[in-house]
Chain A
Amino acid sequence: MINKERKPTAIERFLLHIHPNKIDAEAIKFTKTFGLGGISALLFVLLAISGILLRFTYVPTPESAYDSIIFLQEKILFGRLLRNIHHFSATIMVVTSFLHLIRTYYSQSLYFERSKNWIYGLLLMFLVLFSNFTGYLLPWDQLAYWAVTIMTNMLEYIPIMGDLLANMFRGGDMVNGVTLLNFYNLHTGVLPLFFVFFMSMHFWLVRKAKGVIVSESTEKEMVSVFPNLVVKEIMLALIVLAAIFLLSIFIDAPLLDKASITISPNPSKAPWYFMGVQELLLHIHPVFAVFVIPVAMLSLFFYLPYFKYSKVNIGVWFNSKIGKSLTIISVLFSFIFTLIVILISEYIIDFSSWVPKLPLLISTGLFPVLIFLIPTAGFLYYWYKVKNTGFVETVMSLVTIIITSYIVMMAVGVWFRGEGMNLIF
C-alpha cells in the first residue's frame, strides 16, 4: 500500500508538477479521457529511449542502412526486441493519438479556453504521422523505399510548388542517399525536438484550462491527486508497457529485401495511415486527391473550435441525445455510401472516355467529387433544415462522415487492393 509517511523525492515532486494538488473527482474517472493522451505521451518517451539506443548501431547510408539493421537483429543481444519495441510503439502511437483526437472532439473539449490546445493537438498529430513516415524509410528495404517513393511523388501533384517540395525532401528527383540523410536527421533530431516543445505547450495548456473537461452541471468534489490520480496513471502505464513488450516478443517488425531502385514491387503501397490518400488517388484527379481535398479537410479541422456555434454543451458527449444518434447514423451512412462510391467508381464510371472533350481536371476531378459531395450535402441539409438539428450536431455529423470515409478508404486500400491495385475480395 502507499506509504503516506514517506516524503516524495525531489524528482517525484518535480514530476507531480504536471498536476495540481487537488482535482475534481469526476476528472479522474478512466472513462473521462480513457487515458489516451497520457498513453501517447508515454509512448513518446518509450520511442525516444528505444530510438536513441537504435542510433548506436544504425548507419544512415544506402549502402549500410539495411545491413546495420540485419546486424542489430542477428548479432546484438535483444537487438530485435529493441527494434520491435520502437516499431510497435510508433504504430500504436498513431492509433492512440488519433483516438485521443476523437475523444476530445466528441466529448466537446475543444471550445473556448481549449481551442488553442486543439490546434497544438493537431500539430502533434502531424508530428506523429511525419515521425512515423520519416522512420519508415530508415530500414531501407523494398517496403520502405517504394512507400517513400510513392509518397514523395504524391507531393509532385501539388500545383506550382509540388516539384520543388518533393525535390527538397528527396534532395533530387529520386529517393537516394540524400533523402535517407534528410529523413534520418528529421527523424532523430528535428522532429523529436519539436515534439518536446509542442507536448510541453500542450500539457501546460491543459492545466491553464483548469484540467480536463468536466461538464458544467456537476457538483464538484475535490480529491487529492496523490495518490488518487497518480496510482491510476502508473497502473495504466504499466499495462501499456507490458502490452508493448509482449507484442514485441512475439511479433517481429517487417523487413523485406534490401531496397533495389530498379525493381518495384507489385503492388507498391504507401504506409498504412496514408493509404486513404492513395485510395482516393485511384478515383480522383491527383490535383484534387493530394491537394484540394486534403487542404479543405485540414482547414475544416483547424477551424472546428471557431465556428459560431449557438448551443455547445461543454464536456457532454456528442453535445446532446440527438447528437449521439446522428453520429451513429452518420457513421453508417458514410460507411455504406463510401463503399458504394468506391465500387461504382471502380467498375462503372469512366468519365475520361465518356466526355473526352472536357479537361481531365473536370471530368476526372470535379465530377467524382460532386458524386460524393451532393448526396452528403443532401444528407446534412435534411438533418439541419428538415429535422432542425442544431448547428453543433450538424458539423459533428460532417466531421463524422469525413473521418469514417477516410477509415473506409484506408481499410480498402490496405486489405482489399492486390496486384496492380485491383480490388480483391
Chain B
Amino acid sequence: MNVHADVARRRIEELLGTSDEQILRRWSALAKAPVDELKELYQALRTALAEEGSDLADIRGLLAELSRDRVRRGHTPSDTARAVFGLKEAVYEVVEADGGPEALRGFIWFSRLIDDLGLYTIETYATAREKVILDQAEQLLELSTPVVKLWDGIVAVPLVGTLDSARTQVVMEKLLQTLVDTGSEHAVIDITGVPAVDTQVAQHLLKTVVAARLMGAECVISGISPQIAYTIVTLGIEFGDIVTKATLADALAYTLRRSGIEFGEGRRTQIAIRAEDA
C-alpha cells in the first residue's frame, strides 16, 4: 500500500470513529434495521480495519449470521444486501461533509470493501435459503407419508400421490421402523391414493412385505383399484401369497381377526367392520 492510499484509508477509519453515531443512525434508516443489530457489525468492522492485515473473518461470521436470520424471517435477498450496502451511503454523507481529498480517495477503497462484504452476504443468504428449502422438502416427505397405528399391534400406511422411488423408499423404511417401535405384528399398506403402480413401485412393495416377514410381521396390501389390478397383471408382476384386500376397512377387519381380536355382540353392531366375512 502506498503512502497516499494509507493516509486515505486512515482518514475513513477516523471518520468511522468520530461520526459513529451519525453513521449508525443513517445506516439503520437505510437498512431498515435497528441500530442495536448493526452496532455489533459496525464495531467488528472497525476492529478489523484497525488490525493490520486482518482477514475480516469476524465480520464475515457476523454477516453469515445476519443472512441466516434474514432467511428465517423471510426477508428477500435484495433487502438483505441493501442492509449491507446501506453503510456505503451512510459513510458517503460523512465523507462529503468532510470534503477533503483523503476522505474522498479513501471512500473508493471503503466502497470496494463493502461491495465485497455485500456479495459475501448474498452468497451466504443463498446458501442458507437452499438449506431451508432442502429441510422443508425433507419434512414434507416425512409429513406426506404418515404411518398410523390402527389398533394395538396393527399399523397402516396410506400411500397417496405419485410414488417416486425416493418417496417409496422413505415410506417403506418408516413402516418397518414403526413395526419395530410399536412391536406390531401386522401392517396394512393402502394404495387407494396411488394413481399408477409400475414395476419399480411394485418391487419396493414386495421387498417391504418380505422384510416385514423377516421381522415376524405380516403385511396386507389394500386399495388396489381395478385399473391398477389390471396393469399389475399385464406387467406380469406376481404378488405371490401376499394378502390383498379391496379396501382399508377389509384389510383392518382381516388383520384384527388374524390377531385374534374378537368383538362383543354390542361392539360389532356399532363398528362398521365386517369382521366375520372379511
A and B bound? no
Give A contacts to B, CB under 8 Å: none
Give B contacts to A, CB under 8 Å: none
